[in-house]
Amino acid sequence: MENKKKVIFSGIKPSGDLTLGNYLGAIKNWVKLQDEYDCYFCVVDLHAITVQQLPADVRRRTLEILAIYIAAGIDPEKNTLFIQSHVPAHSEASWLLTCNAYMGEMSRMTQYKDKAQKGGESIGAGLFNYPILMAADVLLYGTDLVPVGKDQVQHLELARDLAERFNRLYSPTFVVPEPYVAKTGAKIMDLQDPTKKMAKSEENPNGSIQLMDPPEVIRRKVSRAVTDSLGVVKFIDEQPGVKNLITILSTITGETIEEIENKYEGMGYAQFKTDVAEAIVSELEPIQNKVKELLNNKTYLESIYKAGAEKANYVSMKTLRKMQKKIGLIPVAK
Ligand code: AQP
C-alpha cells in the first residue's frame, strides 16, 4: 500500500505585520515539517477581517506573508501555499458546519469571551464564528495534524467535535485532526510587558520585533527590552523579561538554556542583550533581503498562489461536495 504522508494545515492571518513571535513560534517550525508531511500553509485573510482592517493593509500583508513563507525556506514546490479567500470551499464548508454547531459550545470559547468582555455589544459576529471557519480550514484537507499554540487548543477541540458530530450524523466524512506539538518552538513574549505574548496587533511598537524591522530598529528594541534589577541571566519566573530573551536566543542559536546561563554568568545584561540583538539580526536579515526580492517579482508570487489555489481548490472541493451531498443538497447539474 502507498505510504501516504500525514497532512498538516496551518496559517497566519494578515491582521498586522508579522512579528518575531510568528516566525519563531510558527514559520521556523514549519520549515522543518515539509519533508515529512504533506503541508498546506495558508494566508488566512478571511480570519484577518474578523476585526476591521484597512483594505490596503490586508492586500500588502497578504503578499508579504506569502513572500515571508518562501523566504524563510518553505518550498512552494513541496508544499501547498495559498490564500484562503481564493478557495471558496472554506466559506461554504464553514456555513455547513455552522448549521451543525451549538450556541452553547461556541459561547464557551474563552478567546471569544475575553474579546466580548472588551468589545461589548458591538463585537463582530465574525469573532464569534471564526472557530468554525478554522474548523472548515482544517477539515477540508483531511488534515491529520494541526500545529497549535496553547491559545488554540480549545478551537482545535471544537474542530474535532464538529468533525465527529458530522461523521456521526451523516457518515464518516472527516479525518478527526490531532494537535501537533512541536519539539522545538516557543512562546515569545512582549519586550515591554513580558507577561503577555508578542502579538502583531500590539500597539506599542517597542513591545514587538517586526519581521521586517531594519537591523538598527531590532538593536534598539532589544536594548530597551524590559529586564530587572537582579543583574543575572537566569531562566526563572521572577525574571520574565530575561527569560524571554533567553528563549529567543536559544530558539535561534540552538544553544541550551543552561549553556546560555553559564556563558553570561557574572556579566550583567549589556553583552547578553547585544548578543540577542545580533542573533536576531543575523537570522532575519537574509530572510528580509529575500522577501524584498520576492515582492519585486509579483509575477512569480502570483504564479505561486495561483498554483496553490488550484491544488487547494481541487482537494477542498472534493470534501465540500461530499458534505453537500450527505446533507441533502442537490449537486449542480453538469
Ligand atoms: N508570541 C508568539 N510566540 C509564539 N508563537 C506565536 N504565534 C503568534 N504569536 C506568537 C504563532 O503564530 C501563528 C499566527 O497565527 P495567527 O496569525 O492566526 O494569529 P495569532 O496567534 O493571534 O497571532 P498574533 O501575532 O497574536 O496576531 P493578532 O495580534 O492579530 O491576534 C500561530 O501559529 C501562533 O501560535
Give the three cell numbers for residue 102.
Answer: 451549538
Q: What is the reported pTM?
A: 0.94
Q: Hey, whose CA ends up nearest to atom 10 of ligand 1?
A: 21
* 199 alpha carbon – ligand 1 mean position (Å): 6
Same structural domain, 53 and 97: yes
pLDDT in tens, 207-228: 999 999 999 999 999 999 999 9
Catalytic residue among 6, 32, 115, 187: 115
Catalytic residue among 183, 187, 196, 197: 197
* CB 272 within 8 Å of CB 245: yes
Supply the CATH number for residue 217's domain. 1.10.240.10
> Mean of the pLDDT values across residues 77-102?
98
Residues of each annotated binding site for L-tryptophan: 137
Query: What does the alpha-carbon distance between residue 107 and residue 224 come to, in Å, rounded to a whole number?
Result: 40
pLDDT in tens, 115-131: 888 778 888 999 999 99
Atom of ligand 1 nearest to the CA of 47: 18
Question: Which range marks the domain in which residue 303 is found?
Answer: 7-185+298-327
Give me the number of domains the chain comprises: 2
Which element (helix H / strand E) includes 247?
Answer: helix 240-253
pLDDT at 70: 98
Q: Please confirm, yes or no, whether 306 is among the known catalytic residues.
A: no
Task: For the chain, list the strands marked E by DSSP.
Answer: 7-12, 38-43, 80-83, 145-147, 178-180
Is 200 domain-assigned?
no
Burial environment of residue 88 by CB neighbours within 10 A (0 to 12, 13 to 18, 19 or more): middle
| Higher per-residue confidence, 202 vs 294 | 294
Is 162 domain-assigned?
yes
Is 274 domain-assigned?
yes
Q: If pLDDT is split at 50, 70 and 90, which confidence band does 134 have?
A: very high
Same structural domain, 105 and 141: yes
Same structural domain, 127 and 226: no
| Choice from 8, 10, 12, 118 to test ligand 1 binding pocket (greatest atom count within 8 A of CB) | 12
Q: Please confirm, yes or no, whether 197 is among the known catalytic residues.
A: yes
* CB 76 within 8 Å of CB 294: no
| Higher per-residue confidence, 251 vs 333 | 251
Atom of ligand 1 nearest to the CA of 147: 33
Beta-carbon contacts of residue 132 (< 8 Å; ≥ 6 apart): 94, 97, 98, 101, 106, 158, 162
Same structural domain, 129 and 251: no
CA 330 to centroid of chain Cα atoms: 36
Same structural domain, 118 and 246: no
Same structural domain, 62 and 135: yes
Same structural domain, 114 and 261: no
> Mean of the pLDDT values across residues 156-166?
97
* 172 alpha carbon – ligand 1 mean position (Å): 32
* 25 alpha carbon – ligand 1 mean position (Å): 8
Query: What does the alpha-carbon distance between residue 305 and residue 300 come to, in Å, rounded to a whole number?
Result: 9
| Choice from 22, 30, 111 to test ligand 1 binding pocket (greatest atom count within 8 A of CB) | 22
Same structural domain, 87 and 231: no
Q: Please confirm, yes or no, whether 115 is among the known catalytic residues.
A: yes
Sign of CA dihedral 131, 303, 147, 5: positive
Catalytic residue among 28, 200, 221, 273: 200
Same structural domain, 246 and 309: no
* 230 alpha carbon – ligand 1 mean position (Å): 30
Is 195 domain-assigned?
no
Supply the CATH number for residue 93's domain. 3.40.50.620
* Res. 183: pLDDT tops 70: no
Same structural domain, 120 and 256: no
Tell me the chain's radius of gyration from C-alpha atoms.
Answer: 21
pLDDT at 114: 84
Same structural domain, 25 and 171: yes
Is 201 domain-assigned?
no
Residue type, 100: N
Which residues contact ligand 1 via a Cβ below 6 A? 12-13, 15-16, 19, 21-22, 25-26, 149, 187-188, 197-201
Give the three cell numbers for residue 272.
Answer: 547578553
